[in-house]
Amino acid sequence: MDIHEYQAKEILAGFGVPVPRGGLAYSPEQAAYRARELGGDAWVVKAQIHSGGRGEAGGVKVCKSEKEVAEFAAGLFGKQLVTRQTGNGGKGVYRIWVEEASDIAQELYLGFVLDRKTERIMVVASSSGGMEIEEIAEEDPESLVRMVVDPAHGLAEYQARELAFRLGLKGDQINQMVKAVRACYRAYRDLDATMVEINPLVITGSGDLVALDAKMSFDTNALYRRPQVEALRDPSQEDSREAMAHDNGLSYVGLDGDIGCIINGAGLAMATMDMIKLSGGEPANFLDIGGGASPERVMTAFRTVLSDPNVSVILVNIFAGINRCDWVARGVVEAYKAEGLTLPVVVRLAGTNVDEGRRIIDESGLPLITAETLAEAAEKAVAARPKRAA
């Protein structure tokens, strides 16, 4: 789960990371009022969306008057901001962050990610901040500093100090960097984060370190024990299909194809999508209904898949262990009738109570397409798609 910049800053500030003063606005008038509250003669106005590259897309501006703040904010609110990370649809701007302008002398990069190769948290830093980490790696790879954290000991002070030395910091900046790095690590560890990024972490004209921008992502599977983090979720920044699935406890990822998938088990879901591609089709989604799927849960899965207008075929692929094929079959039949489906539905059942499940499908009187194997199911789903005009 991603959160907004201002939310990440509030979290990191709570752990001891220095951030600029700022305020949240939900209207142009409120944005101007925030500038007045902060005082000064310059403010940075930032669109709050779950994406990087906002500056290049026109979502960030330094304003020199309250009127300019209000006018720029008015042009942002309700806009679909398209960045290099959002895709063509962009992300809606419904919140704006207004913060005091900073005197920037140098920009650094600081990030914490999970390194799956070493199964450790990795700290990545660079003396070339202000760019995406991919750009830094390509344009200035020598500036990158990597450090792996031993989970048994955590991030030691000497490691943070070494990081500061390797970035070329001196004097009190070293102590400030040590505090900031260790604070970021604690936030990552204590909140089940999967990524913490400060870009840029700036050195101001007075020599102080300040986190000018911040991003945090969290392990969705750990949110049940982090209610304070889950409360920061913003459904307006999510794919509407994924938001619907989340609200119903389903694992769903929207894709660009037209074959909707309802499957139990992440591994089987991946294999099914691969088989659809191998058969010449394109999956519309990843959807894992999980174990113990009741008929009601299957119906919810159908509604979630059908919320995508691009879906022209639905493929149900169940290998029942914890699940039961008869439960799934009842859910398929009930969903087909309740939703008044006219598009093709391919059903492949295997495992617990498979004979009873197949009997329910066969005796339903519905034009459901059945298959014995995954390969056969994928081929039938691809073949059942409406013919497209040349």
Q: pLDDT tens digits, residue range 196-239?
A: 999 999 999 999 999 999 999 999 889 999 999 999 999 888 77
pLDDT band at 253 (very low <50, low <70, confident <90, very high): confident
**Res 55 pLDDT > 50:** yes
Give the burial class of 220: count Cβ atoms within 10 A of its Cβ; 0-12 exposed, 13-18 middle, 19 or more buried: middle
Per DSSP, 85 falls in state T
Give the pLDDT confidence score for residue 282 in this predicted structure. 94
Bind-site residues for Mg(2+): 199, 213
Bind-site residues for substrate: 264
Both tokens of 347, joined, read 């059903």
Q: Report the distance separating Cα 6 and Cα 379, nearest Å.
A: 48
Taken in order 130, 133, 135, 139, the sign of the CA dihedral is positive
Bind-site residues for ATP: 46, 53-55, 99, 102, 107
Residues 6+ apart with CB under 8 A from 273: 255, 261, 283, 286
CATH number of 1-20+103-238: 3.30.470.20
- Among 145-149, 159-163, 289-293, the range scoring the smallest mean pLDDT is 289-293
Q: Report the distance separating Cα 362 and Cα 369, nearest Å.
A: 10
Give the pLDDT confidence score for residue 293 in this predicted structure. 64
Residue with the larger pLDDT of the pair 278 and 238? 278
Among the listed residues 163, 332, 304, 296, the one whose alpha carbon sits nearest the alpha carbon of residue 243: 304
Which residue is catalytic, options 6, 185, 188, 197?
197
Among the listed residues 337, 340, 360, the one whose alpha carbon sits nearest the alpha carbon of residue 349: 360
Bind-site residues: 46, 53-55, 99, 102, 107, 199, 213, 264
Please report, for residues 122, 148, 187, 196, the alpha-carbon distance to residue 119 in angstroms, rounded to integers and kept in the order given.
9, 9, 18, 17
Give the pLDDT confidence score for residue 381 in this predicted structure. 95
What percentage of the chain exceeds 70 in pLDDT? 98
pLDDT band at 291 (very low <50, low <70, confident <90, very high): low
Give the pLDDT confidence score for residue 85 in this predicted structure. 85
Given the structure tokens 């209000």, which residue do they identify? 70
Listed in order, the ranges of the chain carrying CATH 3.40.50.261 are 239-383
- Among 111-125, 274-288, 310-324, the range scoring the smallest mean pLDDT is 310-324
**Res 298 pLDDT > 90:** no
Residues 6+ apart with CB under 8 A from 26: 94, 95, 96
pLDDT digit string, tens, across residues 343-353? 999 999 998 89
- Annotation says 185 is catalytic: no
- Among 100-104, 285-289, 379-383, the range scoring the smallest mean pLDDT is 285-289
What is the average per-residue pLDDT within 10-14? 97
305 touches 334 (CB < 8 A): no
Given the structure tokens 């940075």, which residue do they identify? 44
- What rounded mean pLDDT belongs to the chain? 90
DSSP string, 21-42: -EEEESSHHHHHHHHHHH-SS-
Give the pLDDT confidence score for residue 164 in this predicted structure. 95
Give the pLDDT confidence score for residue 175 in this predicted structure. 95
Q: Report the distance separating Cα 271 and Cα 114, nearest Å.
A: 25
**Res 390 pLDDT > 70:** no
Given the structure tokens 């669109």, which residue do they identify? 47
Superfamily of domain 21-101: ATP-grasp fold, A domain (3.30.1490.20)
Q: What SS3 class is residue 313?
A: strand
Find out if CATH 3.30.420.10 is the number for domain 239-383: no
Q: What are phi and psi of 208, to 5 degrees?
A: -90, 150
Listed in order, the ranges of the chain carrying CATH 3.30.1490.20 are 21-101
Which residue is catalytic, options 5, 6, 109, 242?
109
- Annotation says 71 is catalytic: no
Give the pLDDT confidence score for residue 182 in this predicted structure. 96
For the chain, where are the E strands, in sequence order? Answer: 22-25, 43-47, 60-63, 80-81, 91-92, 96-100, 104-115, 120-126, 144-149, 193-204, 209-211, 214-218, 251-254, 259-263, 285-288, 313-320, 345-351, 369-371
